[in-house]
Amino acid sequence: PKRIFTFRKGEAERPADAIESLGLKGANLALLASLDLPVPPGFTISTAAWREAKASGESMPIALRSDLNAMVEWLERVTDRRFDGDRRPLLLAVRTSGPTAMPGLADSVLDIGLNDRTVEILARELSDTDFAFRNYRRLVESYAQIVHDADPTEFEELSDAEAAERGWSGEPSTIEDWRALMARYHAFLDSELGVVMPQTPFEQLVEVVSASFASWRSPAAAAHRILHGIPENAGLAVTVHAMIFNERNRHSGRGRALSRDLATGRSRLTGEFLLGSRDLLEKIERAAPIDLGELGGKTSERFPGEVGELTRCVKVLEAHLGDVVEVDFMVGDGELFLLQSRIARRSVAEGVRLAVEFVREGLIEEEEALLRIDAASLDQLLHPTIQRPADYRVLARGMPASPGAATGVIVFSSDAAQRLASDGRGVILVRHETHPEDIHGMHVSEGVLTIRGGTTSHAAVVARGIGKPCVTGAGTLRILSDARELHAAGTILKEGAEITIDGTSGEVIEGAVPLVRPSLDGDFATLMEMADRARRMGVRTNAETPAEARAARGFGAEGIGLSRTEHMFFEGDRIRAMREMILAPDEKGRRAALNGLLPIQRADFIELFEIMAGLPVMIRLLDPPLHEFLPQGESDILETAEMLGIDEASVRQRIAALQEFNPMLGHRGCRLAISHPEIVEMQSRAIFEAAIAAGEKTGSAVVPEIMVPLVSLRRELDFVKERIDRVAAEVTAESGSRFTYTVGTMIELPRAVVRADTIAEVADFFSFGTNDLTQTVYGISRDDAANFLSTYVREGIIERDPFQTVDVEGVGELIAMAVQKARRTKPDISLGVCGEQGGDPASIAFFEQAGLDYVSCSPFRVPIARLAAAQSTI
Ligand code: PEP
Ligand code: MG
C-alpha cells in the first residue's frame, strides 16, 4: 500500500478517503495545502501503514522505516535543512489523529531533531540560546512522557533542584546552566527510567511514531471506540511536519481566527492572537472576538502582510466549505502558516443568523440554509435559557417535559401558587402530579415540577401548551405535604425556597440561576419564511385558551388542529356548572346545568374563531372521563355539596359510581357522547352559534371542524354525527343563518385504523391522536410509561420514547395503513396529526412520508414544526 502522503503549499497527495486514510489532522492539512494555503511542509503516515505495522507485530516494520527515511530526505530538500546537519538543523513536529476527534491518542511531540549537538547549532543560527534550549528541554520531557510514560512532575522537581544548585530561578540564564540542566535530564532518564533518549534525530522520530501508533490501544481510546462504534481496525494516522518557530521572537506567535463576526454574521476577521506565548489555547475567549486588524494596532503594524494573508486564507476556505471557518494559525518570524481549520462552532441564534446571511450573499441555496439548522434547537430561541457559563448545584433530574428554564419560589398547591403570584412572586408549582384542577395554578406559575409522570403526562401536555417550562418524573425528590417541605439529595427546601428548573435538560437546580430571554429577530423570521416556501404540510396548533391561540398565531400557526374543550371547563367557576351537570340526578337536571354552560362555551369559541379569523379551527368534543371533574379532597367534597345544595352522601355516591379501574380505557371519548348526547348537543350548539356570531363580527365565514374523540366503530361516529347534524339544522332554522361545518374523528385506537375505510365514509377528516394510539398499540399507559421506558432506552430495547417520537415500525405502519384505507374511500379526506409527536422533527419527517396534510402541535413548537416540515421535503 501507499504508506505515506506528502503535502506542501500548493500540492498534496490526497486519497479519496482522506479522513479514513490520513486522520482528521492529516486530511485537513492536505486540504489546506491543496487550496494553495500556507501550511508547513510535511507528510502523513496513513492508517494503512498503521494496519500493516499492527499485522506485522513489529513496532516499526522495515518497509515503513525505509519509506519514512525517504520522506525525511524529501523534507530536507524542500526545507533546505538537514536532520542532524552541521548547519540549519531540520526540526519536526509529530501529531496523531484518528478518523474522528478522540481522547487517549498520543499528544503532539515538537522539535524532534534536537540533540546535544543540534541544539547548539540552532542557538547559533538564531542567535538565541534560551529559545533553542527551551525547545530541547520540551522535547526531552515529551519524549519521556510519550515514549516512556514518565510523570511530568518529575521534571519540575529536577528543574527545581538544578535551579537551587546553580542559583538561577525561572529558567537557566547561561549556556552552561542549560547544558547542566540537560545533563541532569539525561541522567534521570538513564537512572530512573533505564532509557537513553536517542541522539540520532531519525531514531527519535522512529520511537515517537511507534509510541503514537501504540496509543490507539490506550484505555481511553479503546473506551471511546466502543462507545462510538469505531472499529478497532480503523487505526490512526501520524502527521509529521516542519516546525514553525512561533515562540521565537516579537515577529512570532499563534492564534485562532474566524472568517466572520458571529455576532453580526458579516465577513470580518475575528479571533485571538498571542505574541510569542506558549499557553495560548487556555486563554482564548471565543465569546469576545478581537478584530485582528485592530488589535491595539500592534498586529497589523507588526504583521501587515500576515493579517492580509490570513484574511485571504479564511475567505478561500469559507468559499470552499460554504460555511464559517475557524483556523488555528502560527506566525514564525513574520511568516504565516495554517495548522488546522474547521467549520466554526456556533450557538443556535448565531446559526440562524449565519444561514440567513449566507443565502443573502448568494453563497448557499435556501434549502441548504434550512438543513443547517437543527429544528429542535429552535426551542432555545423561544424560551428563556440558563445563562452560560453557569455554576450551579443540581438537586435532581427528571424528564425534560416542556422546554425553557424558570426560577421561582416553590409552592405545593395551586392555591398557594395563586396567592403568591398575586403578590408578584415568581413561583414554581411542585406536585406529585398535576390534575385538571391544577390548571389555574399552572397558569400563574413560572414553571412546573412533578415527581411522577412522563413527557405526555397531564403536567407535560398542559405546560407545553401554555409555554411554561416543566420537569416531570423527578423521582428522587420527596414532597412532605404536612411539613410543606421538598427533600432533595440531602437538602431540605421549605415552601418559599428558591429553585430553578430547566425543562430543556430536565434539571432541578438549587437557588435562582440567571436566565437569558432571547428575542425573535429579523433573521429568525426570514428563516421561517424560507421554511414556509419549502414545506408541503400545513402546520396547525393545539390550543384552547385565547392566550395559546394568540401565541400560536404569532408563531405562524395556520389554524387550530385540536382544541381540547375539557380544558375550558376548569377555568374560574365553570367547574361548578360542570359538577352540577355531572351530579344532576337525571337528564333533565343535566340539561339545565348544561344550559348554564352553553353561553360560556359559546363565548370561548367566538374568541377562538376571532383570533383565528380566516383559518380553520378544529374543536374536539369532550373527551376525559367525568370523574376528572369531580371534587377530590375531603374539603372539596363538602364545599361542592354545600354549593350545589346536594347532600354530601349523594356526592360521595356519585363519585363512587363514576370510579373506574382504567379510566383511560373507560367511559371517555365518544362513549361519553353516546351515554350523554345532551353534552354533544350543548357543545355543537355553542360551536354553531359562535360560528355565526364570529362570522358576522369578522366578516369572513367560519367553517368549524367538529372532531369526535376515541372512535373505534363506524356506528359510534354515525350516532354522534346524527346529533350534531340535528343541532345544526335547529340552529339554522332558529337563526335563519346558513353556515357550513365538517365532522370528523380522531384515529387513536387500533380498531379505528383497521376500519379506517368504513369510518371514512362518514368522516370529513381524520386526525391521528398518536398519544392514545401509541398507548393502545403498545398497551402501555401513557401516564405510567416514564417509570420504565427510560430503562428501555438505556438498555437499547427501544431507541426512543414512542410517546415523543412516533414509533415508525409499529404505530407508523398503522398510520400508513389508515391513510391508504381512508384515501381509497375518500381521496380528498383531510388527514392530520395532533398527538405530541406532531411537534417532533423526527416524527414530522415520517408524517411527510406518510402523506399527511398537516401536523398540529403546541404553540411553542409551531416554528420547530415549520422548519422540520420544510426539511422533510428536501
Ligand atoms: C391523542 O391521543 O393523541 C390526542 C391528541 O388526544 P389527547 O392527548 O387529548 O388524548
Ligand atoms: Mg387522545
What's the CATH code of the domain at 70? 3.30.1490.20
Per DSSP, what are the bridge partners of residue 342? 326
pLDDT surpasses 80 at 188: yes
Residues 460 and 578 grouped into a single domain: no
SS3 category, 399 = strand
CA–centroid distance, residue 771 to ligand 1 (Å): 5
Q: What is the pLDDT of residue 278?
A: 47
User: Any binding-site annotation on 276?
Assistant: no
Here the cell at position 653 is 355516591
How many other C-beta atoms lie within 10 A of the C-beta of residue 298? 12
CA-wise closest residue to 261 among 283, 288, 300:
288
Handedness of CA 283, 284, 287, 290 (dihedral sign): positive
Residues 278 and 233 grouped into a single domain: no
**Separation of alpha carbons 542 and 75, rounded Å:** 67
Is 771 near ligand 1, meaning CB less than 6 Å away?
Answer: yes
Q: 186: number of CA atoms within 13 Å, CB side? A: 13
Q: Treating both helix axes as pointing N-terminal to C-terminal, what angle do 62-79 and 201-214 enclose, rounded to 10 degrees? A: 120
- Let me know if residue 390 belongs to a domain: no
CA-wise closest residue to 70 among 208, 199, 202, 235:
202
Best mutation site among 456, 458, 462, 564 for ligand 1, i.e. most ligand atoms within 8 A of its Cβ? 564
Residues 156 and 261 grouped into a single domain: no
- Neighbouring residues of 290: CB distance < 8 A, sequence distance ≥ 6: 270, 271, 272, 273
- Neighbouring residues of 655: CB distance < 8 A, sequence distance ≥ 6: 627, 630, 631, 637
User: Any binding-site annotation on 748?
Assistant: yes
- Neighbouring residues of 146: CB distance < 8 A, sequence distance ≥ 6: 106, 107, 109, 208, 211, 212
- DSSP string over 229-293: T--GGG--EEEEEE---TTSSTT-EEEEEEEE-TTT--EEEEEEEEES-S--GGG--TTS-EETT
Q: What is the pLDDT of residue 367?
A: 97
What are the two backbone dihedrals, phi and then psi, of residue 414, each rounded to the nearest 5 degrees? -65, -30
End-to-end, the C-alpha distance of the chain in Å comes to: 40
Contact 833, 525 (CB under 8 A): no
* Mean pLDDT confidence for 584-612: 93
Contact 451, 477 (CB under 8 A): yes
Among candidate residues 481, 516, 551, the one where a domain is terminated: 516
Listed in sequence order, the DSSP H helices in 645-704 are: 648-658, 670-675, 677-698
Contact 362, 394 (CB under 8 A): no
Name the pLDDT band for 455 (thresholds 50, 70, 90).
Answer: confident
pLDDT surpasses 50 at 158: yes
pLDDT surpasses 50 at 295: no
Here the cell at position 480 is 412532605
* Strands of 102-158, DSSP E: 109-112
Q: 37: number of CA atoms within 13 Å, CB side? A: 28
**Separation of alpha carbons 259 and 316, rounded Å:** 10
Nearest CA to ligand 1 atom 8: 771
* Strands of 333-438, DSSP E: 335-343, 385-386, 394-397, 399-402, 405-411, 427-431
Count of domains for the chain: 4
Residues 503 and 546 grouped into a single domain: no
Average pLDDT, the chain: 91
- Neighbouring residues of 441: CB distance < 8 A, sequence distance ≥ 6: 411, 413, 414, 415, 417, 418, 429, 434
What are the two backbone dihedrals, phi and then psi, of residue 6, each rounded to the nearest 5 degrees? -95, 160
CA-wise closest residue to 669 among 715, 710, 705, 629:
710
**Separation of alpha carbons 505 and 669, rounded Å:** 34
Residues 473 and 610 grouped into a single domain: no
Here the cell at position 201 is 534525530
Taking only the tens place, the pLDDT of each residue in 665-720 is 999 999 999 999 999 999 999 999 999 999 999 898 999 999 999 999 999 999 99
Here the cell at position 265 is 454574521
Is 404 near ligand 1, meaning CB less than 6 Å away?
Answer: no
pLDDT surpasses 90 at 184: yes
How many other C-beta atoms lie within 10 A of the C-beta of residue 151? 11
Among candidate residues 242, 264, 298, the one where a domain is terminated: 242
Nearest CA to ligand 1 atom 10: 772
What does R_g of the chain's alpha carbons equal in angstroms? 35
Taking only the tens place, the pLDDT of each residue in 805-824 is 999 999 999 999 999 999 99
**DSSP H or E run through 781:** none
Handedness of CA 602, 605, 611, 612 (dihedral sign): negative
Among the listed residues 313, 670, 834, 857, the single catalytic one is 834
What are the two backbone dihedrals, phi and then psi, of residue 545, each rounded to the nearest 5 degrees? -90, 155
Residues 698 and 721 grouped into a single domain: yes
pLDDT surpasses 90 at 276: no
**Separation of alpha carbons 122 and 685, rounded Å:** 95
Residues 707 and 747 grouped into a single domain: yes
> Is beta strand 447-450 parallel, antiparallel or unpaired with respect to 854-857?
unpaired
pLDDT surpasses 70 at 733: yes
Q: 182: number of CA atoms within 13 Å, CB side? A: 23
- Let me know if residue 490 belongs to a domain: yes
Task: Give whole-number Cα distances, 486 to 275, 403, 474, 688, 863, in Å.
Answer: 54, 23, 12, 48, 36
- Neighbouring residues of 287: CB distance < 8 A, sequence distance ≥ 6: none
Q: What is the pLDDT of residue 294?
A: 43
Contact 450, 468 (CB under 8 A): no
Residues 701 and 805 grouped into a single domain: yes
Among candidate residues 488, 516, 544, the one where a domain is terminated: 516
CATH number at residue 305: 3.30.470.20
Task: Give whole-number Cα distances, 178 to 137, 139, 181, 866, in Å.
Answer: 9, 14, 5, 67
More reliable by pLDDT, 298 or 509: 509
Best mutation site among 771, 780, 782, 857 for ligand 1, i.e. most ligand atoms within 8 A of its Cβ? 771
**Separation of alpha carbons 582 and 819, rounded Å:** 37
**DSSP H or E run through 414:** helix 414-422
- Could you tell me how many residues make up the chain? 874
- Let me know if residue 382 belongs to a domain: no
Is 769 near ligand 1, meaning CB less than 6 Å away?
Answer: yes
Best mutation site among 455, 565, 568, 746 for ligand 1, i.e. most ligand atoms within 8 A of its Cβ? 746
- Let me know if residue 388 belongs to a domain: no
User: Any binding-site annotation on 455?
Assistant: no
- Let me know if residue 59 belongs to a domain: yes
CA–centroid distance, residue 835 to ligand 2 (Å): 7
State the complex-level ipTM.
0.99
pLDDT surpasses 60 at 284: no
Among the listed residues 443, 458, 627, 676, the single catalytic one is 458
CA–centroid distance, residue 102 to ligand 2 (Å): 46
**Separation of alpha carbons 219 and 315, rounded Å:** 40
User: 771 lies in which domain range?
Assistant: 535-625+660-871
Amino acid at 834: C
Q: Is 470 a catalytic residue?
A: no
How many other C-beta atoms lie within 10 A of the C-beta of residue 588? 10
Here the cell at position 330 is 502560527
Name the pLDDT band for 293 (thresholds 50, 70, 90).
Answer: very low
- Let me know if residue 362 belongs to a domain: no
Taking only the tens place, the pLDDT of each residue in 394-445 is 999 999 988 899 999 999 999 999 899 888 889 999 999 998 788 889 989 9
SS3 category, 424 = coil
- Let me know if residue 430 belongs to a domain: yes
**Separation of alpha carbons 469 and 445, rounded Å:** 10
Taking only the tens place, the pLDDT of each residue in 207-254 is 999 999 999 999 999 988 988 888 999 999 999 999 998 877 767 778
Residues 446 and 560 grouped into a single domain: no
Taking only the tens place, the pLDDT of each residue in 338-370 is 999 999 988 888 899 999 999 999 999 999 999
Here the cell at position 187 is 541522567
pLDDT surpasses 90 at 466: no
Name the pLDDT band for 518 (thresholds 50, 70, 90).
Answer: low
Give Dmax (Cα) for the chain.
Answer: 112
Is 623 near ligand 1, meaning CB less than 6 Å away?
Answer: yes
Q: 548: number of CA atoms within 13 Å, CB side? A: 29
Residues 407 and 340 grouped into a single domain: no
pLDDT surpasses 70 at 290: no
- Let me know if residue 368 belongs to a domain: no
Residues 110 and 42 grouped into a single domain: yes
SS3 category, 727 = helix
CATH number at residue 710: 3.20.20.60
- Neighbouring residues of 124: CB distance < 8 A, sequence distance ≥ 6: none
**Separation of alpha carbons 134 and 173, rounded Å:** 11
Name the pLDDT band for 118 (thresholds 50, 70, 90).
Answer: very high
Q: Which ligand is nearest to the CA of 566?
A: 1
How many other C-beta atoms lie within 10 A of the C-beta of residue 415? 12
User: Any binding-site annotation on 771?
Assistant: yes
Q: Is 458 a catalytic residue?
A: yes
Residues 336 and 468 grouped into a single domain: no
What is the SS3 assignment for 549-566?
A: HHHHHHCCCCCEEEEEHH
**Burial of 88 (C-beta count, 10 Å sphere; 0-12/13-18/19+):** middle
Contact 539, 838 (CB under 8 A): no
What are the two backbone dihedrals, phi and then psi, of residue 854, each rounded to the nearest 5 degrees? -160, 165
**Separation of alpha carbons 546 and 593, rounded Å:** 24
**Separation of alpha carbons 74 and 92, rounded Å:** 13
Taking only the tens place, the pLDDT of each residue in 478-510 is 999 888 999 998 899 999 999 999 998 899 999
Is 749 near ligand 1, meaning CB less than 6 Å away?
Answer: no
Here the cell at position 638 is 363538602
Here the cell at position 504 is 430543556
**Separation of alpha carbons 23 and 425, rounded Å:** 56
Taking only the tens place, the pLDDT of each residue in 15-46 is 999 999 999 999 999 999 999 999 999 999 99
